[in-house]
Every structure is written in C-alpha cells, then in structure tokens.
Amino acid sequence: MTEKNSEMVEIFGQEYKIKGVGDPEYFHKIAGYVDRKMREIAHSSGIMSQSRIAILAALNITDELFQEKENSKKSRKELEKQAVELSDLIDSRLGAAK
C-alpha cells in the first residue's frame, strides 16, 4: 500500500493542506507554479477577484497542458514515421546485400 503524505502549501496568500502520494517537495513545486500563475494574472490584468484569478490561472495552465499534449502527439507521430523509414531502409539494404 502506498503511503499518502500531507503537506501545507501557500497559494496566493491562502494556506492549503494537500494530501497525496509523492514527494512533499513536489507538492510545493506545483503549488508554487499555481501561485506564480495567479500572481502573473493578478498583476497583468488588475483583476481583484480571487475566484476570477483562479479560473483564469486554471484556463492558462490547462491551455499549457493541452499544447504540451499536442506537441507530444506530433513528436510521437514523427518518431514513428522515422522509425518506419529507418526500418524500410535497413530492410532494403539487407535485401540488396543478399
């Protein structure tokens, strides 16, 4: 059974208790990322509502996630294409050597 850790983190001036499996330093890392995003939005937009800032931060982080997934998908397809091309080249060279 995996042990759950509990860690206090601060996001945008509020403390939150995070529970989960993993390194407590990781909890601080992801909380710090959310905090920075919220502060960037608050600074650049002048929005005062914490809930609106949180929603915009969530949208921005989700956009980053979706872009990374799409980039990963494109990279995977390109690698698969190159693997097929390399396999075909090897097959043709081996066939020519016979």
Q: How far is CA 68 from the centre of its chain?
A: 7
Quick one: pLDDT band at residue 2, thresholds 50, 70, 90? confident
- What pLDDT digit, counting tens, does each position of 35-91 carry? 999 999 999 999 999 999 999 999 999 999 999 999 999 999 999 999 999 999 999
pLDDT over 70 at 19, yes or no: yes
Token duo for residue 85:
């091309």
The DSSP annotation for 45-96 comes to H----HHHHHHHHHHHHHHHHHHHHHHHHHHHHHHHHHHHHHHHHHHHHHHH
